[in-house]
Amino acid sequence: MSTSEDEVFDAVVRRIAAGGYIDEVPTARLAPLRPASPAAVAEAEELAGRSLPPLLRRLYLEVGNGGFGPGYGLLGLRGGHRAGGLDALTGLKGGALILCDWGCGISSTLDLTDDQVWGCDPNPAPDDVSCTFPQHLTIVDWFSKWVEGTLYQPWLVKDPTTGEWRGATDAEYAEMIEEAFGPEGTQTDLAGA
């Protein structure tokens, strides 16, 4: 994607200002956003052994310590938003920061070593198959797709041609939504199914 970090930051702020800034939580139940402290960001970077990507760092420091974004919201750093018993620091080792909980054990994680987003969907995979897979997105791509309404939760599928397990493509996800709910179906419809 060719969208700049500043453009994505501004688009995230606009979406939050419009309300309904966590996809899976009714607006009436949303708490006000409070930015992360510089100490919380420094702690996360120390635990990870590297800096957070500039967009993510800016969102934490200027917008909120989690509590906005896809699924049950961007997970916060120390003292920030939690979902499914997790915060972004849960299991932070080797530079993997949990971005969000989508429910049913499904999550998105940012690998800080290469700034790539990974999905985890443990639900359909047999025991001998990894439930973690690359989503081929940077954090800028991930938030850009969220703002556009085209970010889908990670979904592990068995390729019908090769028989290999992999992450679903956007086209496969859209097809599944349309099959289940018709052309006006949404990701929220699918999550509630």
- Give the span between the Cα atoms of 191 and 193, in whole angstroms: 6
Q: Which fold has domain 5-147?
A: SMI1/KNR4-like (3.40.1580)
**Structure tokens given for 167:** 């992450």
Sorting pLDDT into bands at 50, 70 and 90, what band is 192? Answer: very low
Put simply, whether the predicted model's pTM sits higher than 0.95 gets the answer no
Contact 61, 35 (CB under 8 A): yes
9-44 confidence digits (pLDDT tens): 999 999 998 887 888 877 767 778 999 999 999 999
Q: Comparing C-alpha atoms, which of 57, 13, 18 is closest to residue 36?
A: 57
Which of 30-34, 56-60, 61-65, 189-193 comes out lowest in average pLDDT? Answer: 189-193
Q: How many residues does the chain have?
A: 193
* Mean predicted lDDT score pLDDT of the chain: 89
Token pair, residue 30, equals 């949303």
pLDDT tens track for 142-180: 999 999 999 999 999 999 999 999 999 988 988 888 888
Give 119's DSSP letter: E
User: Domains of the chain: which residue ranges?
Assistant: 5-147
Query: Which residues are 28's β-sheet partners?
Result: none
The residue among 90, 88, 72, 51 whose CA lies nearest residue 146 is 72
